[in-house]
Amino acid sequence: MRYLNIASPVEDYELVRGCLREDRKYQEAIFQRYAGKLMVVSLRYARHRMEAEDILQDAFIRIFDHIDQFQGKGSLEGWMRRIVVNTALKNIDKKSFSSEIIGLDNTPEDNPGALPSVFPQLHEEELLQLIQQLPDGYRIVFNMYAIEGYSHAEISDLLGIQESTSRSQLVKARKMLQTQILKIQKVAV
């Protein structure tokens, strides 16, 4: 746990000021404070861990290069999260959003948002794996809508896709996640 649980009285504002001076000590402090959380963001958008590490590395370089553009209007963490998401979206192929999963439409949809009973017992790593197993389009839209809190209109703007596409990708992502969780439940029983 090298980078986690840093007990430091230094405020984010001070860290940003230090980074503005290109002070390596402050840059490392920001990295230590947020790398863990941002790694998870990166893992949610990536297909696998190696891709997530590349995204996180690019994102931190962009963060330090453009720290002068952080105007302090929101939280530093929120600003950094957006950079990680934007970095991840940079290399997304639009074709990912038109792919269909054969057989997905045959899954039961009586209660698409229903929570399988096994869900509360699932570990965070397992949830991450479930997300990573989603096809690119599903994974991106599910992350942006369900976790980041973007609206379909915003997703449509950011990804350059139709709002209806975003909606359908979300529905399919949920279905697929439920199917996978049900499979885990059956194995567990």
Partner 1 sequence: MNPKSPLDELFRRKLANFEMLPPDTLWENIQLERSKQQKTALKWWSPWAISAAVLLTSALLYQQFNKPLDAINRDIPNSKSNLSYLENQHQHHLPSKESINKIIIPISRKKNDKKRMNQTSVPQTSAMEEIFTPLQIMPDPVQETSEIKTEVKSSFSSFSALSGIHITLPHELSLYSEYLPVPFKKKLWFAKIDFLLSQDVIHNTLISKSATFEEYAALRNKHEDLNRSNSFMIRMGISTIKGWGLRSGIQYSRMRQTFSRQMPDASNTITRNTFETIDIPLILTKEQMVGKLRIGLSAGTYLNMTFNQKGSFYSPTGSLIEFTSSKPGSYPAFKNRLGASLYNGLTLSYPIGNSLEFMAEPYIRTRIPSISADDYVLDQKIWYGGIFIGIRKQIGKGFYLP
Q: Does 151 bind partner 1 (CB under 8 A)?
A: yes
The DSSP code sequence of 91-148 is T--GGGGG---TTGGGS--SSTT---TTGGG--HHHHHHHHHHS-HHHHHHHIIIIII
Q: Does 78 bind partner 1 (CB under 8 A)?
A: no
Taking a C-beta distance cutoff of 8 angstroms, is the pair 135, 93 a contact?
no
Considering only 53-61, 85-93, 101-109, 132-140, which stretch makes contact with partner 1 by CB under 8 A?
53-61
For residue 65, give the nearest of 90, 43, 87 by alpha carbon: 87
Q: How far is the CB of 24 from partner 1 (least distance, A)?
A: 7
Which listed residue (84, 131, 140, 159) binds partner 1 by CB under 8 A?
Answer: 131
Q: How far is the CB of 127 from partner 1 (least distance, A)?
A: 6
Q: Does 95 bind partner 1 (CB under 8 A)?
A: no
Residue in this structure with the two tokens 């390596």, named with its chain if needed? 24
Taking a C-beta distance cutoff of 8 angstroms, is the pair 60, 31 a contact?
yes
Q: How far is the CB of 189 from partner 1 (least distance, A)?
A: 20
Give 63-66 contacts, CB < 8 A, sequence gap 24+: 63/30, 64/19, 64/27
CA atoms within 13 A on the CB side of 34: 28
Considering only 82-90, 98-106, 133-141, 143-151, which stretch makes contact with partner 1 by CB under 8 A?
143-151
Q: How far is CA 61 from the centre of its chain?
A: 18
Residues of this chain, 100-119, that bind partner 1 according to CB under 8 A:
112-115, 119
Length of the chain equals 189
Q: How far is the CB of 107 from partner 1 (least distance, A)?
A: 14
Which listed residue (37, 47, 82, 167) binds partner 1 by CB under 8 A?
Answer: 37
Q: How far is the CB of 70 from partner 1 (least distance, A)?
A: 9
Binding site for partner 1 (CB under 8 A): 1-4, 17, 20, 22, 24, 28, 31, 35-37, 39-40, 43-44, 53, 56-57, 60-61, 64-65, 67-69, 71, 112-115, 119-120, 122, 124-125, 127-128, 131, 142, 145-147, 149-151, 174, 177-178
